[in-house]
Amino acid sequence: MRVSTPRAIFLKPLAVMMTAAAVPMVMAAPLSLPPVTVAGEAEEGPRVRVAPAEAPAAGPTTARLLKRVPGGNVNYNGPLSGIVQYRGMYGTRVNTRIDGLPMASGGPNLMDPPLHYAPMPLLEAVEVHRGIAPVSAGNESIGGHVDARLKSSTFTTGEAAEFHGDISANAQTGDDGYGLGGLLWGANRSHRFHVLGVAEEGDDTRFTGGDIHPTEYERTAHGFGYGFRRGGHEFAVDVLRNETDDAGTPALPMDIRFFDTDKFSLGYKGAFGAHRLEARLFYTEVDHLMTNFHLRQPPPAPARFRQAAATSDARGFEVEVRRPAAGGELALGVDGHFADHDTDIFNPNNGAFFVNNYNGVERDRLGLFAEWQAAVGEGSGYELGVRYTRVDMDADEVDGTPARMMMGPRMLRDRFNAADRDRTDHNVDVVATFFHDLSEELRVDIGVGRKTRSPSYQEAFLWLPLESTAGLADRKRYVGDVDLDPEVAYEVDAGLEWRRGGAYAAPRVFYKRVDDYIQGVPSGDPVVIAVSTMNGDPRPLQFANVDAELYGLDARFGLAFSDRLVMDGVVSYVRGERRDIDDDLYRIAPLTATLALTYETAAWSVTTEAELVAEQDRVSATNEEDPTGGYGLLHVFGHYRLADGLVLGAGINNLLDKEHAEHLSGYNRVRNSDVAVGERLPGAGRSLFARLNYSW
Shortest distance (Å) from residue 198 CB to Cu ion: 21
| 107 is a site residue for Cu ion (CB under 5 A) | yes
Of 61 and 545, the one with the shorter C-beta distance to Cu ion is 61
Range in contact with Cu ion (rule: CB under 5 A) among 104-112, 259-267, 355-363, 583-591: 104-112
Shortest distance (Å) from residue 249 CB to Cu ion: 7
Of 253 and 651, the one with the shorter C-beta distance to Cu ion is 253
d(CA 514, CA 580): 11
CA nearest to 79, candidates 562, 666, 564: 666
d(CA 260, CA 534): 34
Applying CB under 5 A, among 48, 69, 111, 633 the residue interacting with Cu ion is 111
Of 152 and 665, the one with the shorter C-beta distance to Cu ion is 665
Range in contact with Cu ion (rule: CB under 5 A) among 110-118, 316-324, 396-404, 678-686: 110-118
Range in contact with Cu ion (rule: CB under 5 A) among 105-113, 404-412, 434-442, 664-672: 105-113
| 78 is a site residue for Cu ion (CB under 5 A) | no
d(CA 4, CA 127): 19
Of 111 and 128, the one with the shorter C-beta distance to Cu ion is 111
| 290 is a site residue for Cu ion (CB under 5 A) | yes
Shortest distance (Å) from residue 109 CB to Cu ion: 5
H or E, element range at 528? helix 526-534
Give, as ranges, the residues between 468 and 497 that touch Cu ion (CB under 5 A). none
d(CA 691, CA 694): 10
Range in contact with Cu ion (rule: CB under 5 A) among 238-246, 273-281, 290-298, 591-599: 290-298
| 55 is a site residue for Cu ion (CB under 5 A) | no
Of 78 and 409, the one with the shorter C-beta distance to Cu ion is 78
Of 104 and 111, the one with the shorter C-beta distance to Cu ion is 111
- CA dihedral for 14, 19, 25, 28, sign (positive or negative): negative
Convert 532-541 to b/e letters by CB count within 10 Å (16 or more is b).
beeeebeebb
Shortest distance (Å) from residue 281 CB to Cu ion: 28
User: x/- binding map, residues 125-164, to Cu ion, per CB under 5 A?
Assistant: ----------------------------------------
Task: Indicate the pairing of strand 328-347 with strand 123-129.
Answer: unpaired
Say what the alpha-carbon torsion angle 85, 89, 95, 99 is, to the nearest 10 degrees. Answer: -10
d(CA 556, CA 570): 5
- Cis bond upstream, residue 113 (ω within 30): no
Shortest distance (Å) from residue 450 CB to Cu ion: 34
Shortest distance (Å) from residue 667 CB to Cu ion: 17
Of 331 and 355, the one with the shorter C-beta distance to Cu ion is 355
Shortest distance (Å) from residue 307 CB to Cu ion: 10
Of 152 and 242, the one with the shorter C-beta distance to Cu ion is 242
Question: How many residues make contact with Cu ion (CB under 5 A)?
Answer: 3
Of 41 and 255, the one with the shorter C-beta distance to Cu ion is 255
SS3 304: helix
Give, as ranges, the residues between 566 and 595 that touch Cu ion (CB under 5 A). none
| 80 is a site residue for Cu ion (CB under 5 A) | no
Phi/psi at 211 (5° precision): -110, 145
Range in contact with Cu ion (rule: CB under 5 A) among 92-100, 102-110, 311-319, 657-665: 102-110
Residues 6 or more apart whose CB falls under 8 angstroms from that of 592 comprise: 67, 73, 571, 572, 573, 611, 612, 613, 614
Tell me the residue ranges of DSSP E strands in 188-232: 191-202, 205-207, 210-212, 217-230
- CA dihedral for 110, 166, 556, 592, sign (positive or negative): positive
Of 135 and 290, the one with the shorter C-beta distance to Cu ion is 290
d(CA 98, CA 677): 35
Tell me the one-letter amino acid at 114.
P
Which DSSP category does 175 fall into? T
Shortest distance (Å) from residue 290 CB to Cu ion: 4
Shortest distance (Å) from residue 412 CB to Cu ion: 22
d(CA 42, CA 45): 9
Which DSSP category does 413 fall into? H
d(CA 143, CA 96): 10
Give, as ranges, the residues between 210 and 269 that touch Cu ion (CB under 5 A). none
Q: Bridge-partner residues for 448, per DSSP?
A: 432, 492
Shortest distance (Å) from residue 568 CB to Cu ion: 37
Shortest distance (Å) from residue 580 CB to Cu ion: 32
Task: Indicate the pairing of strand 307-325 with strand 72-76.
Answer: unpaired
Of 88 and 107, the one with the shorter C-beta distance to Cu ion is 107
Range in contact with Cu ion (rule: CB under 5 A) among 109-117, 185-193, 627-635, 655-663: 109-117
Let me know: does 389 contact 427? Beta carbons within 8 Å: yes
SS3 21: helix
C-beta neighbour count of 580 within 10 angstroms: 12
Range in contact with Cu ion (rule: CB under 5 A) among 285-293, 331-339, 454-462, 688-696: 285-293
Range in contact with Cu ion (rule: CB under 5 A) among 94-102, 103-111, 225-233, 672-680: 103-111
Shortest distance (Å) from residue 330 CB to Cu ion: 43
Shortest distance (Å) from residue 695 CB to Cu ion: 35
Phi/psi at 532 (5° precision): -70, -40
Shortest distance (Å) from residue 214 CB to Cu ion: 14
Of 107 and 114, the one with the shorter C-beta distance to Cu ion is 107
d(CA 685, CA 97): 31
The angle that helices 407-418 and 526-534 make with each other, rounded to 10 degrees, is: 130
Shortest distance (Å) from residue 670 CB to Cu ion: 15
- Intra-chain end-to-end CA distance of the chain, in Å: 19
Range in contact with Cu ion (rule: CB under 5 A) among 141-149, 284-292, 397-405, 583-591: 284-292
Let me know: does 377 contact 370? Beta carbons within 8 Å: no
Of 128 and 290, the one with the shorter C-beta distance to Cu ion is 290
Interacting residues with Cu ion (CB under 5 A): 107, 111, 290
